[in-house]
Amino acid sequence: MYAVIKTGGKQYKVAAGEKIKVEQIAADVGQEIVLDQVLAVGSGAELKVGAPWVAGANVTATVLAQGKHDKVRIFKMRRRKHYQKHGGHRQTYTELQIGSINA
């Protein structure tokens, strides 16, 4: 069984037992959270699609870690103008262990 969930403005296809990294969620490590924005639930050839959410469906997950992704380097330059600008960004994430999918 799998589900398509929405969190942090993005959509993820998840199954029980998977580990995923999503946009940061305000939760402590080890805490169990419930993701109730389920767009679709499927099992084999069956697929239940919500409009926009599947009624009564949710996904439980456990927070494994909070962290930051690798640094993304930003470099801007205008040729022949003596303009160079350096920058960087590290996006925060929450790592989740998917527990169960309740349709």
Q: Which residue has the tokens 């925060």?
A: 92
Cβ neighbours of 53 (radius 10 Å): 15
Q: Assess contact for 98 and 14: CB atoms under 8 A.
A: yes
Question: Going residue by residue through the chain (103 aa), what tens digit of pLDDT does each one get?
Answer: 999 999 999 999 999 999 999 999 999 999 999 999 999 999 989 999 999 999 999 999 999 999 999 999 999 999 999 999 999 999 999 999 999 999 8
Q: What angle do CA 68, 37, 90 make, to 5 degrees?
A: 15
Strands (E), the chain: 2-7, 10-15, 19-23, 32-35, 38-43, 46-49, 58-68, 72-78, 83-89, 92-102
Q: What total number of domains does the chain contain?
A: 1
Taking the model in full, what pTM does it have?
Answer: 0.86
Q: Note down the domain range covering 83.
A: 2-102
